[in-house]
Amino acid sequence: MRIHAVDHPLVAHKLSTLRDERTDSPTFRRLADELVTLLAYEATRDVRTETVDIRTPVTATTGVRLSHPRPLVVPILRAGLGMLDGMVRLLPTAEVGFLGMIRDEETLQASTYANRMPDDLSGRQVYVLDPMLATGGTLVTAISELIRRGADDVTAICLLTAPEGVRLMERELSGTPVTVVTASIDERLNENGYIVPGLGDAGDRMYGTVG
C-alpha cells in the first residue's frame, strides 16, 4: 500500500480552516469541496489514458483521453457524499457508485447498509471518498469489497488519516493495489476513535447533527 500526504500550501491553508471549531457548516462544505479537488489532482496522476487523433484549427495532432472502462468514484455515505462534487469536477466522465457504511461506536467495527455499485469491476480504477481514515475499519471493508468485485487499482482520498488506520490498512490489505491520498497524517486516535488533532466528526460538521 502507498500513502501520499499532499504537501502544498493551499492544502494546508484549507485544512487549517476545516480544523477550526468556529468554521460553520456552509463554509466547511465549501472548503472540503475545494480541498478534495486539490487532492484529486494528485490522486489521478496515474489515471489510465489512451492516445487519440485530433485536429486543431491549425493541424492534425494526437492527444489523450481517459480510457475505458471509465474510472468509478465511490463516496462512502454519508460524509463521503460531501466530497463527491469536488472529485467529479476533475473527473466529469467518471461513473459514480455508492457505499453506505456505519461504524458501531462501541466496537468501532464497520458494517454496510447500502450498496450501489457494478457487480463486475474488472479492469476498473476506483476512487473511494471518505473524509477520515481513523481506525481504518470502514475503508478496509469497503476496499475489500471493491477488490472482491474485480477492481485492480483502488485509491482512497481522505481529508485526514491517523497512523493507527494506516497500519490496519497495511496489514489487512497487504499485497493489494491500494493508494491513500490525504491532506495530513495526524498524531493519533483518542479513546473514542477520533483523530487528534483532527477536525471532529466530518459528517456532523458538513451537515449538522441528525439525532
Residues with pLDDT less than 70, the chain: 103-110, 209-211
- For the chain, first and last CA: distance in Å? 37
pLDDT recorded at residue 71: 93
Query: Which residues have CB under 8 Å from 98's CB, separation 6+?
Result: 74, 75, 77, 114, 115, 116, 117
pLDDT recorded at residue 68: 87
Give the pTM.
Answer: 0.90
Question: What pLDDT, in 10s, does the model give residues 120-173?
Answer: 999 889 999 999 999 998 899 999 989 999 998 999 999 999 999 999 999 999
pLDDT recorded at residue 34: 95
pLDDT recorded at residue 104: 65
Give exposure, 142-156, as e/b (b: 16+ Cβ within 10 Å): bbebbbebebebbbb
Query: Which residues have CB under 8 Å from 63's CB, separation 6+?
Result: 51, 52, 54
Report which of 63, 80, 71 is spatially closest to residue 45, judged by C-alpha positions. Answer: 71
pLDDT recorded at residue 175: 87
pLDDT recorded at residue 79: 81
Residue 22 DSSP one-character state: T
* Residue whose C-alpha cell reads 490496519 in the numeric block: 168
DSSP 47-72: --EEEEEEE-SS-EEEEEEEPSSPPE
pLDDT recorded at residue 109: 66
3-state secondary structure of 36: helix
Q: What is the rounded CA–CA span in Å between residue 200 and residue 91? A: 28
**Cα four-point dihedral sign 160, 174, 87, 203:** negative
pLDDT recorded at residue 4: 96
